[in-house]
Amino acid sequence: MKLGSMTAVADFPWSSPALRVNQNRAYGSGKGILDATLLSSGERLAVAASTSKFLAVVSSSGIVDVLRGFSPSKTDVSLFHYSAASSRVFLLVYVDDIIMMGNDSTLITTLLHGLSSTFKIRDLGTPGFFFGIETLKIDSRLMLSQRRYMDDILTRVSMSDCKPVSTPAAVTQDLSYSVYRLCQFMHSPTTNHWGLLKRVLRYIKGTLDHRLRLSVSVSSAIHAFSNSDWAGCPLDRKSTSGYAVFLGSNLISWLSRKQRTVARSSTKAEYKALADVSAKVTWVVSLLQELGLHSGEAYTLWCDNLRAVYLCANPVFHARTKHVEIDFHFVRDKVASGDLVLNFVSTKDQLADIFTKPLPGPRFATLRDNLNVVTHHPCA
Tens of pLDDT along 201-228?
A: 999 999 999 999 999 888 889 999 999 9
pLDDT of 180 above 60: yes
How far is residue 225 CA from its own chain's centroid? 14
How far is residue 78 CA from its own chain's centroid? 15
Distances (CA, A) of 188 to 194, 195, 198: 11, 14, 17
pLDDT of 53 above 60: no
pLDDT of 304 above 80: yes
pLDDT of 44 above 80: no
pLDDT of 312 above 90: no
**Sequence-distant (≥ 6) Cβ neighbours of residue 169 within 8 angstroms:** 178, 196, 199, 200, 358
**Sequence-distant (≥ 6) Cβ neighbours of residue 65 within 8 angstroms:** 114
**Nearest CA-CA partner of 16 in 120, 98, 86:** 86
CA distance 131 to 96: 10
Q: What is the mean pLDDT of residues 49-58?
A: 57
| Phi, psi for residue 100 in degrees, rounded to 5 | -120, 130
Can you give the pLDDT at residue 144? 92
Q: Name the percent of the chain lying above pLDDT 70.
A: 73
Q: Judging by DSSP bridges, how do beta strands 340-344 and 299-303 pair with one another?
A: parallel
Can you give the pLDDT at residue 296? 86
pLDDT of 369 above 50: yes
pLDDT of 285 above 90: yes
pLDDT of 129 above 70: yes
Can you give the pLDDT at residue 204? 92
pLDDT of 159 above 50: yes
Q: What is the mean pLDDT of the chain?
A: 78
How far is residue 230 CA from its own chain's centroid? 24
pLDDT of 373 above 90: yes
Confidence tier at 16 by pLDDT (50, 70, 90): very low
Three-state DSSP class for 149? Answer: helix
Can you give the pLDDT at residue 257? 87
Three-state DSSP class for 212? Answer: strand
CA distance 151 to 208: 8
Can you give the pLDDT at residue 164? 92
Higher per-residue confidence, 70 vs 328? 70
Confidence tier at 351 by pLDDT (50, 70, 90): very high
pLDDT of 346 above 80: yes
Confidence tier at 310 by pLDDT (50, 70, 90): confident
Query: Burial, 208: exposed, middle or buried (Cβ in 10 Å; 0-12, 13-18, 19+)?
Result: middle
Distances (CA, A) of 270 to 171, 173, 282, 308: 23, 19, 18, 6
Can you give the pLDDT at residue 34? 35
130 and 33 in contact (C-beta within 8 Å)?
no
pLDDT of 124 above 90: no
pLDDT of 324 above 80: no
| Domains in the chain with CATH codes | 3-131 (no CATH), 217-358 (3.30.420.10)
